[in-house]
Amino acid sequence: MLRRPIRSTSLKSVGYDATALTLEIEYRNGRVVRYVGVSAAVHAALLAVPGKAQFVAQVLEGGPYQREQVR
């Protein structure tokens, strides 16, 4: 999945596949996490909020999404 760089202190890049409803997040430490079942609206919200790491913790980690550690 192609990820694009973002401005965040702990996140390095974010990728999204609208067909598969899959979001990938690459952290600055090299870890990559994939979330399945993420709507385009949630992806857009992540890109729009100033506190991206907090959004991940509250919305993605606390939500109904299937989480997979990729790397």
Q: Distances in Å between the alpha carbon of 15 and those of 34, 36, 61?
A: 9, 12, 17
| Tens of pLDDT, residue by residue, the chain (71 residues) | 899 999 999 999 999 999 999 999 999 999 999 999 999 999 999 999 999 999 999 999 988 999 999 98
Task: Count structural domains, the chain.
Answer: 1
Predicted confidence at residue 1, as pLDDT, reads: 82
Predicted confidence at residue 63, as pLDDT, reads: 86
HSE of 62 in the Cβ direction (CA atoms, 13 Å)? 7
**What tokens appear for 54 in the block?**
């907090």
Q: Is the pTM here over 0.85, yes or no?
A: yes
| Domain enclosing residue 50, as ranges | 4-69
Predicted confidence at residue 2, as pLDDT, reads: 93
